[in-house]
Amino acid sequence: MDLITVAVVVIVALLAHVALYRWVRFKVHEGAVLHYMREAANSGAADHHHSADIARHTALKEERVTAVCERSTGITRHQTAPDSWRES
């Protein structure tokens, strides 16, 4: 019985660690994307940015930028430009 308890605790701890790691990683990447968008807006750039441009300036992969932008509540898809994003 003690072995089962230890195994359950270890599994729960590992799952919590993975979930926390993924959440922190998302928040860091989301912050980098939002920072780029705010800096670009301050310099007079357009209010929307393509995933490839964001990836180039944030050192993230384009697929990761798209995934972060889709999941973020602070970023929305631009209606007319495909694969373009703007700050909410």
Domains of the chain, start order: 2-87 (1.10.10)
pLDDT digits (tens, 9 = 90+) for 71-86: 999 999 988 888 899 9
CA distance 53 to 8: 45
Both tokens of 8, joined, read 């359950």
Tell me the two tokens of residue 60: 């993230």
Identify which has the larger pLDDT, 43 or 57. 57
Average pLDDT, the chain: 94
The model carries a pTM of: 0.87
| Residue 77 phi, psi (nearest 5) | -75, 135
